Amino acid sequence: MDYVPALKLNFWPTNMQPFLNRLKNHRPLLYEKIKNTHMHLVPKWSRLTSLSNQEFEFRYSLSEIEVILAENRNMRAKCLNGIARSIYYKYLYRSTELTSYTVKTTALWMCETFEIDEKVSNDELAYKWIDFMCNHLEMGYCPHYFVENLNIWQHHEREDLNKALDILRSKIDLNDRTIPTNDCSRYFDISPLKLLDEEQSDSEEQTIENLSKTFDEDYKEFQRQ
């Protein structure tokens, strides 16, 4: 575990207000859990300024909010995170400059803007995420989930976004069920994850839930990096 100095904010910055308003209007129960949460500022150099500014730059830490969001996902939303992360680490991680923050951001937007049915299959979730990614890659724009008017791809070259777009459109093999984890040396087999139906036994549902938890724990590990 890493420890870093942080400044606790006892207020919500102006550019966070649209996120709170959006949450209040569309997910009021979640809003009630988040509205009294605190943000922090942590020292982090943006690398967009001269080295002399390194000791003076800070960024938002939204970890507490992200934990609440993660804890309130349903099983399908957890699987969406795992599937999106799996595709990213197998196909995009070493081939493009996109970071894992893209996975987190797109999954959060999808959980908010799409109704993810509990009975949707994993292949459907994969296709939905790929389609969502392709639409935004074409525009070259992926809005930050929390901060207004911020494109998380603003410093990516168009060529790199096009490369990611081409991979997602033509290189993804959903029949290949082996997926790399964060160190790209271990693999999970997600073939047991399938469409839930009324005939499934409790043991099968428990298997799916356990795998979902595994995905979620691994995803949180990436968040901390």
pLDDT tens for 117-175 read 778 888 899 999 999 999 999 999 999 999 999 999 999 999 999 999 999 999 998 87
Q: What does the alpha-carbon distance between residue 90 and residue 144 come to, in Å, rounded to a whole number?
A: 24
Q: Domain-by-domain residue ranges, the chain?
A: 1-72, 73-225
Q: Residue 190 above 50 pLDDT?
A: no
Most confident of the ranges 53-57, 109-113, 116-120, 163-167: 163-167
Contacts of 2 (CB under 8 A, 6+ apart): 224
Query: Model confidence at 214, in pLDDT bands (50, 70, 90)?
Result: very low
User: Tokens at residue 120, please?
Assistant: 């949707």
Could you say which architecture CATH assigns to the domain 73-225?
Orthogonal Bundle (1.10)
User: Tokens at residue 10, please?
Assistant: 């006892």
What's the pTM value of the predicted model, to 2 decimals? Answer: 0.74
Q: What does the alpha-carbon distance between residue 62 and residue 38 come to, in Å, rounded to a whole number?
A: 8
By CB atoms closer than 10 A (0-12, 13-18, 19+), residue 87 is buried
Can you give the pLDDT at residue 51? 82
Q: Residue 57 region, left (φ>0) first, then alpha (ψ -120 to 50), else beta?
A: beta
Contacts of 52 (CB under 8 A, 6+ apart): none
Can you give the pLDDT at residue 121? 87
DSSP code per residue over 144-192? -SSSTT-BTTTTS-HHHHHHHHHHHHHT--TT--EEE-TTSS-EEE-TT
Closest-CA residue to 88 (of 124, 121, 129, 122): 129
User: Tokens at residue 213, please?
Assistant: 């938890």
Which runs of E-coded beta strand occur in the chain? 7-9, 39-43, 58-61, 178-180, 187-189
